[in-house]
Amino acid sequence: MLERLRDAGLRPTRQRLALARLLFEGGNRHVTAEQLHAEARREEIAVSLATIYNTLNQYRKAGLLREVVVDSGRSWFDTNLEEHHHFFHEATGALTDFEAEGLAVEGVPKAPAGTEIDRVEVIVRLRDPQ
């Protein structure tokens, strides 16, 4: 973790290390700022909400996290850096991955003049049956 932060040009402070452990140890995950803050509090890690936001954004800029936009009004951060896509269940707010392998998006038109394609994102919105 220490290395990972140093490599990203971030001082390995108490807070950043603790949050890195929550985020990166124990499998990929999706979190919002409030969720991570609540989790830190539960684990008795003293860290302010401002620092949660600072840290998530720094990790994103450093490429340690990416943002997933599925809901206006709330930012989700994703520790899974592999090419993949998302199920989003509107009713429950559940956000889950599915692998890009096996998925084919074909016939994407070329980017408008003066721009290029950064990323093709597929979001599968779910609802309750019937």
The least distance separating DNA from the CB of residue 129, rounded to whole angstroms, comes to 26
> What gap in Å lies between CA 122 and CA 105, rounded to an integer?
9
| Residue 128 binding a copy of itself, by CB under 8 A | yes
Q: How far is CA 46 from the centre of its chain?
A: 22
* Contact positions with DNA (CB under 7 A) in 58-97: 72-75
Q: Backbone phi, then psi, for 78, in 5-degree steps?
A: -130, 125
104: partner contacted, choices DNA, a copy of itself, Zn ion, none (Cβ within 5-8 A by kind): a copy of itself
Which tokens go with 102? Answer: 């096996």
- Give the interface size with a copy of itself as a residue count (CB under 8 A): 40
Angle between helices 33-42 and 14-24 (to 10 degrees): 100
CB of 81 or CB of 122, closer to a copy of itself:
122
Binding residues (CB under 5 A) for Mn ion: these are 71
